[in-house]
Amino acid sequence: MTKTNRWASLLLLAATAVQAQTAGLLPAQPGDLVPARARAIDRAVPDSIERLPLTYAQPLAADEALTAEPALHRAESREYWQRVDAAALRQGYPLALTSAGALILLSPTPSAAAPDAARIRIVRGAERTTLDQAGEALADAAALRAAGMQVATGALGFRLRDGYETGAALQLDGARGEYLLHVAEPRSDQVLTLASRRDTLHAGDTVEVDLALEGGARIGHAAGLLVAPDGTALDLDLRSDGSRARGSVQIPDAAAAMAGLWDLRTSVAANDGTRAFQRDARTAIAVSVPTARIAAATRDGKAPGRGTTAIDVDLDVASAGRYEVRGVLYGTAADGRLVPAAAAQSAAWFEPGSGRLRLDFPASAAGLNAPFELRDLRLNDQTVPALIERRARALRIER
């Protein structure tokens, strides 16, 4: 064999191998969660994890409203948090309000003295007003907890009366230690929104976030952190442009040991032309480890039952565990539209290596025909549990 022919053969084998990795599957789309490979990790598996295989399926109404792409959560904020030391509170800490009716919560840290309502003043210039005049709906920690809030011992909350919002500062005589100040403005039109472009990512992926400030103000500075379940914090690289900011941060590969919900925290300093103010927003993203992946999906042409459709989903399993696949089959209606036909799911225990799960879709009551499409195909690691793969459009069956 000549060197040229040998290279050609190798290239053909490589191309065949790549095709086999995702046999039958449609190309991944933007927004899909698709691992490049399955990763083996050391983990303890609870004895309570079910080992027996289970399957489930049900027909769906053709007019059922479904979406293969989950809507991303968009957090909205009219509030901010600030750590304030005793010196700043004794002098009077500016509240930087944009509307009337602000809700104020002052919480002592473990080293601080609990705030006494009788020692609190609302300061505007040379005017110092007691809390019983400037505030209302005063609530201590016990009352706040009874209302369902999780607050620190010694916390004090109140609503600022209308007319005290301009140039107001919070003063606490005899403040000692450090305090956490939480200010919410439910009537403000200055709203910060935060959205992550994906709600679930793998260790090693990059988190991309979008911030927008509604209400006409401009962002002067934006900052953010991505906080792991163990408290490890990563700085977000945020860049602002007018009323918007965008940023990103890479999740380290070592995050495989910290899978779960990560906390995305952002803060902006803004100005509406007449006053400066602050807004903080936070949301959560899920970080998972792809301990298995979908290697292929094919229709089983020998499936029994008239009108039924069986799809075999082949898995590459790197870590032993219980895995589940689920998906929705769409069929073609008389008017040519693809509409929901049935949903199915299947789960079983697998050791490392190759595995297969079958989705048995029952016949559609609407009498749908080919072509069919498998949509919203998901692979879940039920051992954790965690979503490790998701495809909006996974497989097309022409006949």
Question: Are 165 and 121 contained in the same domain?
Answer: yes
Average of per-residue pLDDT values in the chain: 90
pLDDT at 381 over 60: yes
Among 112-121, 215-224, 294-303, the minimum mean pLDDT is found in 294-303
Domain assignment present for residue 332? The answer is yes
Chain segment 86-97, per-residue pLDDT in tens: 999 999 999 999
Question: Are 323 and 369 contained in the same domain?
Answer: yes
Question: Are 163 and 117 contained in the same domain?
Answer: yes
Question: Are 102 and 128 contained in the same domain?
Answer: yes
Task: Check residue 167 and give left, alpha or beta (phi > 0: left; psi -120 to 50: alpha).
Answer: left
Cα dihedral 8, 13, 18, 24, rounded to 10, equals 120
Domain assignment present for residue 4? The answer is no
Percent of the chain clearing pLDDT 70 (strictly above)? 92
Last residue of a domain, one of 184, 199, 216: 184
- Residue 93 bridge partners (DSSP): 170
DSSP summary character for residue 306: T
For residues 97 and 107, give the distance between their C-alpha atoms in angstroms, rounded to a whole number. 19
Among 3-7, 179-183, 319-323, the minimum mean pLDDT is found in 3-7
Domain assignment present for residue 21? The answer is no
Among 4-13, 119-128, 139-148, 183-192, the minimum mean pLDDT is found in 4-13
Better-scored residue on pLDDT, 379 or 12:
379
Domain assignment present for residue 202? The answer is yes
The CATH number of residue 65's host domain is 2.60.40.3870
The CATH number of residue 168's host domain is 2.60.120.1370
At 247 the pLDDT is: 94
Q: How many CB atoms lie within 10 A of CB 273?
A: 7
Question: Are 200 and 175 contained in the same domain?
Answer: no
Instruction: Specify the pTM.
Output: 0.83
Question: Are 322 and 384 contained in the same domain?
Answer: yes
Domain assignment present for residue 9? The answer is no
Domain assignment present for residue 135? The answer is yes
Chain segment 103-136, per-residue pLDDT in tens: 999 999 998 999 999 999 999 999 999 999 999 9
Six token digits for residue 276 = 């400066």
Domain assignment present for residue 49? The answer is yes
pLDDT at 4 over 60: no
End-to-end CA distance of the chain: 42
Total domains present in the chain: 3
Last residue of a domain, one of 234, 254, 288: 288
In DSSP notation, 174-228 reads T--SEEEEEEE-TT-S-EEEEEES-SEEETT-EEEEEEEEESS-EEEEEEEEEE-
Exposure string over 307-346, b if 16+ CB within 10 A, otherwise e: bebbbbbbbbbbbbbbbbbbbbbbbbbeeeebbbbbbbbb
Closest C-alpha to 44, from 347, 257, 324, 261: 257
Q: Residues 151, 156, 161, 162: is their CA dihedral positive or negative?
A: negative
Residue 163 burial (C-beta neighbours within 10 Å; 0-12, 13-18, 19+): exposed
Domain assignment present for residue 1? The answer is no
pLDDT at 14 over 50: no
Residue appearing with tokens 């602050």: 278
pLDDT at 11 over 60: no
**Is 198 in contact with 285 (CB distance < 8 Å)?**
yes
Question: Are 116 and 38 contained in the same domain?
Answer: no
Secondary structure of 242-264 in HEC code, one letter for each residue: CCEEEEEEECCHHHHHHCEEEEE
Instruction: State which amino acid sits at residue 357.
Output: L
Question: Are 281 and 295 contained in the same domain?
Answer: no
Write the CA distances from 334 to 338, 339, 365, 367, 375, integer angstroms: 10, 10, 13, 9, 20
Better-scored residue on pLDDT, 39 or 306:
39
Owning domain of residue 37: 31-70+291-397
For residues 222 and 267, give the distance between their C-alpha atoms in angstroms, rounded to a whole number. 6
At 259 the pLDDT is: 78
The three-class DSSP label of residue 286 is strand
Question: Are 282 and 210 contained in the same domain?
Answer: yes
pLDDT at 26 over 70: yes
Question: Are 393 and 295 contained in the same domain?
Answer: yes
At 307 the pLDDT is: 65
Last residue of a domain, one of 264, 288, 312: 288
At 327 the pLDDT is: 97
pLDDT classification of 366: cutoffs 50, 70, 90: low
Question: Are 93 and 167 contained in the same domain?
Answer: yes
Residues contacting residue 54 through CB under 8 Å, at least 6 positions apart: 346, 347, 348
Question: Are 349 and 325 contained in the same domain?
Answer: yes
Calculate mean pLDDT across residues 298-315: 79
pLDDT classification of 253: cutoffs 50, 70, 90: confident
At 271 the pLDDT is: 96
Q: Residues 34, 36, 42, 48: is their CA dihedral positive or negative?
A: positive
For residues 241 and 246, give the distance between their C-alpha atoms in angstroms, rounded to a whole number. 9
